[in-house]
Amino acid sequence: MGQRDVERFERVVLPHLDDAYTLARYLLRDEHDAQDAVHDAVLRALRHFEGYREGDARAWLLAIVRNCCLTWLKRDRARRSVIPFLDVASAEPVEPRATDALAIERSDRAALERVVAALPPEFREVIVLREIEELSYKEISDVVGAPIGTVMSRLARARKRLADALRIGAKEAG
Amino acid sequence: MRCAECRESLSALIDGELDPSAAADVRAHFADCADCRREHDVLVDTSRLLKEGLVRHTAPDVLKARLRSSLAQSRPFVEPLERRTRSWITLAAAGVAIAIFSSGITLGVARQAARPSAGDEVLSSHLRSLMPGHLTDVASTNQHNVKPWFNGRVDFSPSVPNLDSLGFPLLGGRLDYVNNRPVAVVVYGRREHKISVYSWPSAGGIGTPVSPASSDVRGYHMLTWTADGLTYWAVSDLNRDELRDFVREFTATH
């Protein structure tokens, strides 16, 4: 790969490093693992840069980051015999909260992070890609390699689980 | 529209991913069904809470430094390590000879020069820092901005002396990756030249301070020394005498 290619790669891909790191942080739930996974992903992206045609560089990079993270999780799971995913229902109960999202306090944020971290990875990734990265369904479908209908239903189920875990609407429901 | 059908479409509706006629159907159903409307409101609140509450992380500087280092290795103008190492040893030996003859500094530095990999990495790191946008992570002429910037980024406190009055203005600091560890780099200027001062904890702990040893590689001059348990490397294309002056002031001030 020539110097020009590497420079073009840096120009096209590196602006999305924060997005890549954010996805890895949520998928791996560990800052050091996330750094390693993003590092691997960027080098992998560089090796496959010739295959990248003009298009959405962010979604392209996120797809590679996601695959690196999943490989990481598999390796991690093989290493530990117990799978540490909590079910949302068993996560710590959260006090019913006002739905006025304008005043999110620190404890609310922590609770939010906790319930998102407790989601299974296939739900967590669509939440991150939609609510933080604000990708369209089509882009999410490209990143996770699943049909748009699947993306839609995962997103719906993930939000439902989060709403239940955060007891949003619980007050009105009685 | 039935409730089951409506519920399936709610997420797509709030994401603006439903086609207009389907969206109109769902909204029409809300008029008849308070349950579905409430479910919709809950999802809207949930989504808003997530958007506002979830943390958008920033890639840490140490990750950026690692990537800079890895990407630089794929650049063709940075020669493969093996090829460069041999010439480095030769030149380092010449440099040590120069150091001994030109300034009468101690001989204790030969051990330092026999470890070429750090100097090699320092030089290529300095070279890539000269590319646009890579010189500093924190650009500041104030040592009281630069020094604290390293807190939490490296596990030691690098020297950042103020050498303005001596004609070596501070330009800033950056994090880099040498010897498989994050290192602190403090950048000074001298006319149009840049001087990078690398530091990291010495392998042998505090130990005895070692006076500067110099080496010249392809028009770049390098000086290395240890002090207060840190190994320092200064590298620049500044002429050798001025770099030596710089290091003398640097070590005298911190």
Tell me: the pLDDT tens digits for B203-229? Answer: 876 667 777 777 877 788 999 998 888
**Based on the domain organization, do A63 and A116 belong to the same domain?**
no
Question: Does residue A66 register a pLDDT over 70?
Answer: yes
For residue B133, the chain A residues in CB contact (below 8 A) are: none
Residue A14 is encoded by which pair of tokens?
Answer: 């590196």
Q: For the ranges A41-55, A140-154, B157-171, which has the lowest average pLDDT?
A: A41-55
What's the pLDDT score for residue A104?
Answer: 53
Arithmetic mean of pLDDT over chain B: 81
**Based on the domain organization, do B44 and B109 belong to the same domain?**
no
**Based on the domain organization, do A52 and A70 belong to the same domain?**
yes
Q: Which of B50, B63, B76 sits opposite A131 (nearest CB)?
A: B50
Q: Quickly state the pLDDT bin for A100 (edges 50, 70, 90).
A: low
For residue A102, the chain B residues in CB contact (below 8 A) are: 52
Measured CA to CA, the distance from residue B27 to residue B40 in angstroms comes to: 10
The alpha carbon of residue B235 is apart from the nearest alpha carbon of chain A, in Å, by 24
For chain B positions 152-181, those within 8 Å of chain A (CB to CB) are none
pLDDT above 70 coverage of chain A, percent:
80
Domain of B126 in residue numbering reads as 61-253
Measured CA to CA, the distance from residue A101 to residue B137 in angstroms comes to: 35
Measured CA to CA, the distance from residue B150 to residue B197 in angstroms comes to: 14
Across B35-49, average pLDDT: 93
**Based on the domain organization, do A123 and A71 belong to the same domain?**
no
Give how many domains chain B has, as a whole number: 2
Q: Which of A59, A84, A109 is the last residue of a domain?
A: A84
Q: Which of A35, A137, A162 sits opposite B17 (nearest CB)?
A: A137
**Based on the domain organization, do B133 and B45 belong to the same domain?**
no
Largest CA distance in chain B: 95
For chain B positions 193-222, those within 8 Å of chain A (CB to CB) are none
What's the pLDDT score for residue B111?
Answer: 41
The alpha carbon of residue B61 is apart from the nearest alpha carbon of chain A, in Å, by 10
Q: Return the residue matching tokens 């962010």.
A: A58
Measured CA to CA, the distance from residue A68 to residue B76 in angstroms comes to: 26
Give, for B213, the enclosing helix (H) or strand (E).
strand B210-217
Q: What is the pLDDT of residues B142-182, one digit of tens each?
A: 888 899 999 888 889 999 999 999 999 999 999 988 877 88
| Ramachandran class of B208: left when φ > 0, alpha when ψ lies in -120 to 50, beta otherwise | beta
**Based on the domain organization, do A92 and A56 belong to the same domain?**
no
Q: Quickly state the pLDDT bin for B88 (edges 50, 70, 90).
A: low
Alpha helices in A29-147, H assignment, sequence order: 31-47, 57-79, 106-117, 121-127, 137-144
Q: Which of B53, B63, B75 sits opposite A38 (nearest CB)?
A: B63
Smallest CA–CA distance from B67 into chain A, residue: A39
**Based on the domain organization, do A60 and A37 belong to the same domain?**
yes
C-beta of residue B195 within 8 angstroms of C-beta of residue B167: no
Contact criterion met (CB < 8 Å) for B8 and A153: yes
**Based on the domain organization, do B86 and B191 belong to the same domain?**
yes
For chain B positions 44-83, those within 8 Å of chain A (CB to CB) are 45-60, 62-64, 66-67, 70-71, 74-77
**Based on the domain organization, do B176 and B218 belong to the same domain?**
yes
**Based on the domain organization, do B49 and B65 belong to the same domain?**
no
**Based on the domain organization, do A53 and A122 belong to the same domain?**
no
Residue A166 sits in a domain of what CATH number? 1.10.10.10
Arithmetic mean of pLDDT over chain A: 83
**Based on the domain organization, do A26 and A78 belong to the same domain?**
yes
**Based on the domain organization, do A33 and A101 belong to the same domain?**
no
Cα torsion through A6, A7, A8, A10, rounded to 10: 90
Question: Does residue A69 register a pLDDT over 50?
Answer: yes
Measured CA to CA, the distance from residue B65 to residue B175 in angstroms comes to: 6
CA B89 from chain center: how many Å?
27
Q: Which of A19, A53, A84 is the last residue of a domain?
A: A84
What's the pLDDT score for residue A142?
Answer: 92
Domain of A11 in residue numbering reads as 1-84
Collapsing DSSP states into helix, strand and coil, what is residue B4? helix
C-beta of residue A116 within 8 angstroms of C-beta of residue A124: yes
Q: What letter does residue B131 receive in the DSSP assignment?
A: S
Measured CA to CA, the distance from residue B161 to residue B169 in angstroms comes to: 10
Contact criterion met (CB < 8 Å) for A112 and B53: yes
Q: Which residue has the higher pLDDT, B173 or B70?
A: B173
- Nearest alpha carbon to residue B222 among B238, B204, B200: B238
Smallest CA–CA distance from B66 into chain A, residue: A39
Q: Quickly state the pLDDT bin for A106 (edges 50, 70, 90).
A: low
Give how many domains chain A has, as a whole number: 2
The alpha carbon of residue A168 is apart from the nearest alpha carbon of chain B, in Å, by 6
A-to-B residue pairs, Cβ atoms closer than 8 angstroms: 120
Q: Is B4 on the interface with A (CB under 8 A)?
A: no
**Based on the domain organization, do B122 and B9 belong to the same domain?**
no
Q: Which of A69, A84, A99 is the last residue of a domain?
A: A84
For residue B75, the chain A residues in CB contact (below 8 A) are: 3, 6
